[in-house]
């Protein structure tokens, strides 16, 4: 049996760190309001001209270095992003070009904050089926570009960043099982209702969200998909060493851990320093947990994410 094994991880955060207090100088908010509701204390924002693909490439280079590989070893690139550099071509092909390689398939996955679990499950399917042997899976987003910085209900929640994972075909256990879902009936809860048409941007090019409805839906579906993936794999919650969740809100993360009966000491939490970096948040957290030595070889990881669409999913893996 062929598994997709994590060979290396890397991440990148833009240099500009903006604290809640910094933000309170620009909009009518406070550190107390933001941190008590979300756990967020700061976020990093991309510099002018710093694009999603730039963040993605920096994270990818670090992941390749950790895996002791070079770009030419990669035969599949999947980039999860909702903030591509351009309408087309895909950010994945731009990343491919910036890494100096060509020929291998490269494409984007658009599942917003669930993007990384979607991308991981997709690359896993390619490797299991023999269509790829060494895949670069990246989550990268620059939500600072799609926020209305005068809307305090949304602009305080997000940050920019990128995380990358190199997956390689292996006889050793790697990704065990994935479960993905989506339901377009909930598209109005979280969206940017704009498109490029007739030479102009039509509609509102800023993120709109019903925060309370998103909160309730996320808590419910993340619990359900975590149960589903464990049941399908024949695992119990006690066998999980680390939950590596999408980092939107500490209270959503805590609710999923509580549902599984897992203490917060077994959850990799980066939301305080990163805020919600959408598709980048899971690989950013994974890389943090690996580089600081908490996540070790042979341990069992549960990735779970949810975002606009709605789209959600969970991936169980052995590191």
Q: Which of 180, 190, 230, 257 binds ligand ACO (CB under 6 A)?
A: 190
Stretch 287-306: interaction string toward ligand ACO, x if CB under 6 A: -------------------x
Q: Smallest Cα–Cα separation from 308: which of 41, 81, 152? A: 81
- Nearest distance, CB of residue 209 and ligand ACO, angstroms: 6
- Nearest distance, CB of residue 114 and ligand ACO, angstroms: 8
* Minimum CB distance to ligand ACO smaller for 69 or for 272: 272
Residue 178 in contact with ligand ACO, rule: CB under 6 A = no
* Minimum CB distance to ligand ACO smaller for 89 or for 211: 211
- Nearest distance, CB of residue 59 and ligand ACO, angstroms: 19
- Nearest distance, CB of residue 274 and ligand ACO, angstroms: 12
Question: Which range binds ligand ACO by CB under 6 A, 55-63, 129-137, 148-156, 285-293?
Answer: 148-156
* Minimum CB distance to ligand ACO smaller for 156 or for 169: 156
Residue 276 is a catalytic residue: yes
- Tell me how far apart the 2 most distant CA atoms of the chain are, in Å: 56
Stretch 22-41: interaction string toward ligand ACO, x if CB under 6 A: -------x---xx--xx---
Residue 275 in contact with ligand ACO, rule: CB under 6 A = no
Residue 206 in contact with ligand ACO, rule: CB under 6 A = no
Residue 153 in contact with ligand ACO, rule: CB under 6 A = yes
* Minimum CB distance to ligand ACO smaller for 222 or for 290: 222
Residue nearest to ligand ACO (CB): 211
Residue 185 is a catalytic residue: no
Residue 307 in contact with ligand ACO, rule: CB under 6 A = yes
* Minimum CB distance to ligand ACO smaller for 33 or for 235: 33
Which residues, 6 or more positions from 115, have their beta carbon under 8 angstroms from its beta carbon?
80, 81, 82, 109, 139, 141, 278, 279, 305, 307
Q: Please tell me which residue in 155, 246, 249, 274 is annotated as part of the active site.
A: 246
Rg for the chain, CA atoms, rounded: 18
Q: How far is CA 83 from CA 115, 252, 292, in A?
A: 11, 23, 29
- Nearest distance, CB of residue 37 and ligand ACO, angstroms: 4
Binding to ligand ACO (CB under 6 A): which residues in 101-120? Answer: 113
Binding to ligand ACO (CB under 6 A): which residues in 157-176? Answer: 157
Q: Smallest Cα–Cα separation from 221: which of 191, 244, 248, 252? A: 252
Residue 113 is a catalytic residue: yes
Q: Please tell me which residue in 20, 44, 113, 274 is annotated as part of the active site.
A: 113
Cβ(100)–Cβ(71) below 8 Å: yes
Which residues, 6 or more positions from 156, have their beta carbon under 8 angstroms from its beta carbon?
20, 23, 27, 29, 34, 38, 40, 275
Contact positions toward ligand ACO, by CB under 6 A? 29, 33-34, 37-38, 113, 152-153, 156-157, 190, 209, 211-212, 214-215, 218, 246, 248-249, 276, 306-307
The residues annotated as belonging to the active site are 113, 246, 276
């Amino acid at each position: 049996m062929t598994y997709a094994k994590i060979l290396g991880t890397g991440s990148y955060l833009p240099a500009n760190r903006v604290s809640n207090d910094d933000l309170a100088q620009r909009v009518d908010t406070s550190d107390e309001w933001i941190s008590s509701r979300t756990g967020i204390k700061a976020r990093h924002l991309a510099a002018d001209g710093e694009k999603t693909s730039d963040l993605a490439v920096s994270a990818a280079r670090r992941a390749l270095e950790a895996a002791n590989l070079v770009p030419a070893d990669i035969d599949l690139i999947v980039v999860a992003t909702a903030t591509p550099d351009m309408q087309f071509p895909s950010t994945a092909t731009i990343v491919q070009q910036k890494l100096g390689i060509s020929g291998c398939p490269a494409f984007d996955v658009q599942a917003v904050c669930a993007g990384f679990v979607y991308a991981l499950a997709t690359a896993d399917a390619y490797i299991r089926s023999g269509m790829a042997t060494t895949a670069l899976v990246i989550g990268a987003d620059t939500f600072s570009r799609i926020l209305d910085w005068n809307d305090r209900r949304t602009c305080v929640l997000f940050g920019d960043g990128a995380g990358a994972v190199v997956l390689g075909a292996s006889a050793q256990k790697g990704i065990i099982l994935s479960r993905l879902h989506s339901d377009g009936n909930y598209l109005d809860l979280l969206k940017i209702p704009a498109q490029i048409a007739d030479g102009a941007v039509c509609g509102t090019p800023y993120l709109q969200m019903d925060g309370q409805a998103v909160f309730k839906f996320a808590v419910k579906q993340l619990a359900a998909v975590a149960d589903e993936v464990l049941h399908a794999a024949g695992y119990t919650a006690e066998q999980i060493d680390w939950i590596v969740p999408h980092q939107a809100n500490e209270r959503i993360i805590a609710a999923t851990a509580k549902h599984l009966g897992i203490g917060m000491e077994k959850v990799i939490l980066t939301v305080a320093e990163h805020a919600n970096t959408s598709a980048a948040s899971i690989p950013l957290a994974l890389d943090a947990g690996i580089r600081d030595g908490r996540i070790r070889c042979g341990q069992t990881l549960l990735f779970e994410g949810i975002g606009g669409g709605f789209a959600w999913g969970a991936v169980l893996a052995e590191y």
